[in-house]
Chains A and B, each alone.
Chain A
Amino acid sequence: MSKKECVAMLLAGGQGSRLGALTSSIAKPAVSFGGKFRIIDFALSNCANSGINTVGVLTQYRPYLLHSYIGTGEAWNLDSRDGGVSILPPYATQTGGAWYAGTADAVTQNIGFLEQNDAEYVLILSGDQLYRMDYHKMLENHIRHNADLTIAVMPVPWEEASRFGIITQDEDEKILKFTEKPNKPDSNLASMGIYIFNAKLLIDTLKEDAVDQQSEHDFGNDIIPKLLADQKRLYTFRFEGFWRDVGTISSYHETSMDLLGDKPEFDISSTDFPIMSNPSIRPPHYVGPDGSISDSLVGNGCKVFGTVRHSILSTDAYVGDRAIVEDSVLLPGAVVKEGAHIVRAILGENSIVEEDVVLGSVDMTKDTAVIGNDVVVGKGEE
Chain B
Amino acid sequence: MIDFPLSNMVNCGIRTVGLVMPYNYRSLIDHVGSGKDWMLDRKNGGLFVLPGSAFGTSRSGARFLIRDILHNKSFLTRSDAKYVICSASNYVYNIDYSELVAAHEQSGADVTMLTRLCTEDDADTVGVMFDGERVRATKHGVTYGDTAFLDCFIADRELLLRLLDWYEAVDYMDLFEAMEGDFGRVDVRSHIYEGYAAPVFTTEAYFAHNMELLDPKISDQLFDPARSIKTKAHDTPPTKYERGCYVRNSLISAGTRVYGSVADSILGRSIVIESGATVRNSIIMQGCVIESGARVENAIIDRHNVIPAGTEFRGTPEDILIKEKGHA
Asked if A287 contacts B252 (CB within 8 A), the reply is yes
Query: How distant is A13 from chain B, measured CB to nearest CB, in Å?
Result: 27
Question: Hey, which chain A residues are within 8 Å of B249, CB to CB?
Answer: 287-289, 291
Flag A275-289 by CB within 8 Å of B: 1 or 0 each: 111010111111111
Within A249-270, the residues touching B (CB, 8 Å) are: 261-262, 268-269
Kindly report which residue of chain B lies nearest to residue A300, judged by CB atoms: B254
Q: Is the CB of A34 within 8 A of B238?
A: yes
Residues 216-258 of B, flagged 1 when their CB comes within 8 A of A and 0 if not, give 1001000101001111010101111111111111111111010
Which A residues from 198 to 247 make CB contacts under 8 A with B?
A: none
B127-140 contact mask (Cβ, 8 Å, vs A): 1 or 0: 00000000000000
| CB proximity of A25 to chain B, nearest CB, Å | 21
Give complex CA distance A291, B244 in Å.
Answer: 14
Are B251 and A284 in touch, CB under 8 angstroms?
A: yes
**Interface class of chain A by DSSP:** loop
Contact of B306 with A by CB under 8 A:
no
Chain A residues, CB < 8 A from B246: 292
Residues from chain B with Cβ under 8 Å of A290 in the complex: 248
Please measure, in the bound complex, the distance between the C-alpha atom of A289 and the C-alpha atom of B263, giving whole angstroms.
Answer: 9
- Residues A298 and B239 in contact, CB atoms below 8 Å apart: yes
Whether the pair B248, A287 counts as a contact (CB closer than 8 A) is yes
B237 touches A34 (CB 8 A): yes
CB pair A276–B255 under 8 Å, yes or no, is no
A281-B233 CB under 8 A given contacts A298-B239, A298-B241, A300-B254: yes
A291 to B247, Cβ gap below 8 A?
A: yes
- Is A297's CB within 8 Å of the partner chain B? yes
Contact yes or no, B247 A292, CB < 8 A: yes
CB distance from A228 to the nearest CB of B (A): 41
With A36-B238, A297-B239 known as contacts, the answer to whether A287 contacts B219 (CB < 8 A) is no
The verdict on B6 contacting chain A, using a C-beta distance below 8 Å, is no
Interface size on B, residues (CB 8 A): 36
User: Which residues of A sit under 8 angstroms from B229, Cβ to Cβ?
Assistant: 283
A268 to B257, CA, bound (A): 12
- Interface 0/1 of B27-53, CB less than 8 Å to A: 000000000110000000000000000
Nearest-neighbour CB distance to chain A for B286, whole angstroms, equals 11
Query: Taking the complex as formed, is A299 at the interface, i.e. its CB lies under 8 A from any CB of chain B?
Result: yes
Interface contact B37-A297, CB-CB below 8 Å: no
Q: How many A-B residue pairs have CB under 8 A?
A: 102
Q: Is the CB of A274 within 8 A of B255?
A: no
State which of B230, B240, B268 has its C-beta within 8 Å of the C-beta of A269: B240
Q: Is residue B160 contacting chain A, with contact meaning CB distance below 8 A?
A: no
- Let me know if B214 is at the binding interface, CB within 8 A: yes
Residues on the B chain within 8 Å of A288, using CB: 216, 248-249
With A268-B237, A283-B219, A292-B247 known to touch, is A36 a contact of B242 (CB < 8 Å)?
A: no
Residue B288 is within 8 A (CB to CB) of chain A in the complex: no
Residues on A with C-beta less than 8 A from B200 are: none
Verify A281–B237 contact, CB threshold 8 A: no
Q: Closest B-chain residue to A36, C-beta based?
A: B238
- Which residues on B sit within 8 Å (CB–CB) of A293? 241, 245, 247
Q: B231 contacts A281, CB within 8 Å?
A: yes
CB closest chain-A residue, reference B269: A284
A75, B267: Cα distance in complex, Å: 25
Q: Which A residues touch B247, using CB under 8 A?
A: 287, 291-293
Contact A295 B243 (CB under 8 A): yes
Contact A294 B239 (CB under 8 A): no
* B238 and A298 form a contact (CB under 8 A): yes
Verify if A165 is at the interface (C-beta below 8 Å from B).
no
Which of B239, B248, B253 lies at the interface centre, i.e. has the most chain A CB atoms within 10 A of its CB?
B239
Give the complex CA separation of A289 and B249 in angstroms. Answer: 4
Q: Are the CB atoms of B230 and A281 closer together than 8 Å?
A: yes
Q: Is B266 an interface residue (CB 8 A)?
A: yes
Contacts A293-B245, A294-B243, A297-B240: A285 and B251 contacting too (C-beta < 8 A)?
yes
Residues of chain A with a CB closer than 8 A to B225's CB: 282
B11 to chain A, nearest CB (A): 12
Q: How many whole Å from A348's CB to the nearest CB in chain B?
A: 18
Given contacts A286-B216, A287-B247, contact A279 B242 (CB under 8 A): no
Q: In the complex the two chains form, what is the Cα distance from A291 to B246 in whole Å?
A: 10
> Which of A283, A284, A289, A291 is packed against the most chain B CB atoms within 10 Å?
A284
A297 / chain B contacts, CB cutoff of 8 Å? 237-241
Q: Does A306 make an interface contact (CB < 8 A)?
A: no
A303 at the interface (CB under 8 A from B): yes
Instruction: Determine whether A14 belongs to the interface, using a CB cutoff of 8 Å to chain B.
Output: no
Q: Chain B residues with Cβ under 8 A from A269's Cβ?
A: 237, 240, 255, 257
Q: Are A295 and B238 in contact (CB under 8 A)?
A: no
Cross-chain contact B239 with A285 (CB below 8 angstroms): yes
Question: What residues of B have a CB within 8 angstroms of the CB of A287 in the complex?
Answer: 247-252
On whether the beta carbons of B243 and A35 are closer than 8 Å, the reply is no
Which residues of chain B come closer than 8 Å to A286, judged between CB atoms?
214, 216, 219, 250-252
Chain A residues with Cβ below 8 Å from B216 are 286, 288, 303
Query: What are the residues of chain A within 8 A of B228 when measuring CB–CB?
Result: 281-282
Partner of B266, one of A277, A284, A296: A284
CB distance from A73 to the nearest CB of B (A): 14
Residues of A within 8 A of B250 (CB): 286-287
Docked Cα-Cα span, A288 to B246, in Å, equals 12
Residues on A with beta carbons closer than 8 Å to the beta carbon of B244? 294
**Considering the chains assembled together, what is the distance between the CA atoms of A298 and B216 in angstroms?**
17
Cross-chain pairs A/B with CB under 8 angstroms, 29 sampled? A35-B237, A36-B238, A36-B254, A262-B243, A269-B255, A275-B237, A276-B235, A279-B233, A281-B37, A281-B231, A283-B219, A283-B229, A284-B251, A284-B252, A284-B268, A285-B253, A286-B214, A286-B251, A288-B249, A291-B247, A292-B246, A294-B243, A295-B242, A296-B241, A297-B237, A297-B241, A298-B238, A303-B216, A312-B238
Known: A262-B243, A269-B255, A281-B231. 11 other contacts (CB 8 A): A269-B240, A281-B37, A283-B223, A284-B251, A284-B268, A287-B248, A292-B247, A294-B244, A299-B238, A299-B239, A303-B216
List of 4 A-B pairs having minimum Cβ-Cβ separation, nearest first: A35-B238, A284-B253, A297-B238, A283-B223
> What residues of chain A have their CB less than 8 Å away from a CB belonging to chain B?
34-36, 74-75, 261-262, 268-269, 274-277, 279, 281-300, 303, 312-314
